[in-house]
Amino acid sequence: MWVSQSVAELQGSLRSCWKSSTSIGLVPTMGALHEGHRSLVRRARNDNDVTICSIFVNPTQFGPNEDFTRYPRALERDLALLEAESVAGVFVPTPVDMYPSGFDTRIDVGELGRIIEGARRPGHFSGVATVVTKLFNLTRPSRAYFGQKDAQQLAVIRQITRDLNIPVEVIGCPTVREPDGLALSSRNMYLSPSERLAATVLFRALNAGRDAYRQGERTNAQVRDAVTVVVQSERLAVLDYAEVVDPDSFSSDDPCTDRSIIVIAARVGTTRLIDNLTVSAEYEHQGPRTLHRQQRTGTLPSQL
């Protein structure tokens, strides 16, 4: 497995793939890999001749008061995991290699970047769109894989790929969950044991929204209320937002339809978590995947 730490090295590593029309599957990550990432890698490996991964904690998608400096970094463990998954190569650039002096270009994703999660994290999706465009141009993959957990991020990436005619197939993969429903996230590492228990409230609240929909509630307000009540019952959690939205435009869906998804953000202690679920269980192409206990990675697993 090659590891390229600069743009120039990466070009050397990939040149033969490009020349031979080998299909490349790209899994862009910020590292601190967990079973969610592993599921992306496995899907990529299944679909492509070679699978590559990028590990880059992208500074431009963090706000000034966000967790850029303390975002978990675990490069050696990540590389061991990727090697075990037979990944062909890993791109681990430095910030100065991605954003050299004089860098001054950003991708504006319009309304989608300003609503819901974008309203709470100004500039976040522009930072995501810009770095993903760079990674696509640097690696020229046939397909790229992203988790559905970051649903609005996935919508942003689908939008820029379509709007800018980027020749990459964007594939969203199902959220991987702990047995108790908590969506895997590198940020779960921040949670204390009591917060970790409380954090299941997001998935419980989403299911309450889904139940309301199944029982015939069709307005955004009704479904949102069902979600909100559950979050309010959890002492350690503070709801940021709960909305029923169209999975592409993220505009509020009123009335809700089977395509709608419920998106939620909440603070558990000092940790901000997000999650989402389709209102209709039938619409979900693949039910929420849960891990067997021995695969749990919310706390550092020993087997990696």
Question: Given the rule CB under 8 A, which residues bind its own copies?
Answer: 7, 19, 21, 102-112, 126, 129-130, 133-134, 137-138, 140, 159-160, 163-167, 249
Shortest distance in whole angstroms from residue 158 CB to its own copies: 11
Residues in the chain: 304
Residue 59, Cα to own-chain centre: how many angstroms? 16
Q: Which long-range contacts (CB under 8 A, 24 or more apart) does 66-72 make?
A: 66/121, 67/187, 67/190, 71/30, 71/32, 71/186, 71/187, 72/31, 72/32, 72/186, 72/187, 72/189
Any bridge partners for residue 144, and if so which?
26, 170
Shortest distance in whole angstroms from residue 152 CB to its own copies: 14
The residue annotated as part of the active site, out of 34, 37, 124, 285, is 37
Shortest distance in whole angstroms from residue 90 CB to its own copies: 17
In terms of CB distance, is 19 or 70 closer to its own copies?
A: 19
In terms of CB distance, is 125 or 203 closer to its own copies?
A: 125
Cα 154 from Cα 129, distance rounded (Å): 10
In terms of CB distance, is 137 or 232 closer to its own copies?
A: 137
Look at residues 268, 31, 289, 39 and name the one whose alpha carbon lies nearest to residue 178. Answer: 289
Pairing status of strand 271-278 against strand 261-268: antiparallel
Strand, coil or helix: 50: strand
In terms of CB distance, is 133 or 175 closer to its own copies?
A: 133
65 Cβ neighbours under 8 A, 6+ residues apart: none
Shortest distance in whole angstroms from residue 46 CB to its own copies: 24
Residue 34 is a catalytic residue: no
Active site amino acids: 37
